[in-house]
Amino acid sequence: MRITIDRDRCIGSGQCAMTAPGVFTQDDDALVTLVPGYEEGTEDPRVHDVPMACPVQAVEIHED
């Protein structure tokens, strides 16, 4: 699994960090940031809900 984020699309709404805290966070400008170490994915099942939770489709989960 890979997790990709598009910070150019992100509007800082925060659903990603609320849906899967510890994997997604927000920087000082409220833009999405992956917590280091999770670029290659995680066993946390909540990450699969994040693409649908994001209002601007800024998060994609790529299954290997």
What is the contact surface with ligand SF4 in residues (CB under 6 A)? 10-16, 26, 32, 53-56, 58-59
Question: SS3 for 25?
Answer: strand
The nearest distance, CB 26 to ligand SF4, in angstroms, is 6
**Min dist. Cβ of residue 16 to ligand SF4 (A):** 3
CB of 9 to ligand SF4, least distance (A): 7
